[in-house]
Amino acid sequence: MTDLIELRHVSKAYGDATVVEDVSFALREGEGVALVGHNGAGKTTLMKLILGLTRPTSGTLQVLGVEPSSREAAVARRGLGFLPENVAFEQAMTGRDVLRFYLRLKRQPAKQADVLLARVGLDGAAKKRVGTYSKGMRQRLGLAQALIGAPKVLVLDEPTSGLDPALRAQFYDTLRDLKAAGTTVLLSSHALTELEARTDRVAIMNQGRLVACATLAELRHAAGLPTRIHLSVPPGAGAAISARVDARAEIAHVNDRSIELTCAPDAKMDVLRGLSALGHDVKDMEIAPPTLEQVYAHFLRRDDRA
């Protein structure tokens, strides 16, 4: 697959303050990457660099084959879609008028406005003034604007802010379809839980540095955090069954009806095989691998100690 975004040793400084330091990574065609980090970690500056809103102090950066802040990037930028965290549109305009304005800027047919509004669930509000929209509706209008021209690269900053759970699910369904069609998505978010099953890779920023960039499975393996296992057992059998658990599992809690275990990643399969041999003595089993929040916290602690 083709790399649509490529950074090589990119740094950005404002005076004596370095806000992005020696960042290198690439995003392939049709890939979704979540950019995570605390406030001030460098995420917004990194997105500004990718959008061509500022230039790197050192290193090289290419988006859609060109340096994004160069004169040659004017045409390529039409293949970029951007949704900022706080969208602002003219309050007196209708949703349809807003989209028609941006469609003209990107030299796209005005008739696409209604198609885009329907795609984000705003077809019923097309004729309403933006000033009457809720925050979630404005966020969806911003997404519709970002989708103009079927962008090859989509940059999203906290895109689900203000959306209820149903609209968040709809939003991620839209992203899934875009990625399947070849769109590359870079998404910055603090909502780590909702990202776990919805991103191909996770890029973790800390103090301007990229401290990790890999799939969640690879990050879990590198972190070496334990897997948690919850067993439901017949009443009164907790203590007796816990004594038969594989010694490589650590027993965190036992009561009459349940057992909580943890085990290291390299012992997980052997522990699970041993638990399956307990047969009907185990009524139910829940397996919880380390969450993205736990993995994220691990890499930040490790980087802060380095």
- Of the candidates 3, 25, 103, 13, the one whose C-alpha atom is nearest the C-alpha of residue 58 is 13
pLDDT at 306: 64
Residue 75: per-residue pLDDT: 80
- pLDDT band, very low/low/confident/very high, at 215 (cuts 50, 70, 90): very high
Q: What's this model's pTM, rounded to 2 decimal places? A: 0.87
> Is the pLDDT at 33 greater than 70, yes or no?
yes
pLDDT at 174: 85
Distances from the Cα of 151 to the Cα of 106, 133, 228, angstroms:
11, 25, 41
Quote the CA–CA distance of 171 and 121 in Å, as a whole number: 10
- Tell me the pLDDT of the chain averaged across its residues: 92
Q: Dump pLDDT digits (tens) for 98-128.
A: 999 999 988 899 999 999 999 888 999 999 9
Q: Which of 205, 164, 201, 167 is nearest to 186 (CA)?
A: 201
> 226-289 has which CATH code?
3.30.70
Q: Which residue has the higher pLDDT, 164 or 103?
A: 103
Residue 1, pLDDT above cutoff 70: no
- Domain 3-221, CATH 3.40.50.300 — does that match? yes
pLDDT of 187-207, one tens digit each? Answer: 998 889 889 888 999 999 999
Distance, in Å, from the CA atom of 288 to the CA atom of 274, rounded to the nearest integer, reads: 17
Q: Residue 222: what pLDDT?
A: 93
Is residue 305 over pLDDT 80? no
- Write down the residue that tokens 């991103």 correspond to: 199
Examine domains 3-221 and 226-289 and report if their fold is the same.
no
The domain ranges of the chain are 3-221, 226-289
Please tell me the predicted confidence (pLDDT) of residue 72: 81
pLDDT of residue 86: 81
- Partners of residue 204 on adjacent β-strands: 36, 212
Write the pLDDT tens digit of every residue in 223-277: 999 999 999 999 999 999 999 998 899 999 999 999 999 999 999 999 999 999 9
pLDDT digits (tens, 9 = 90+) for 273-291: 999 999 889 999 999 999 9
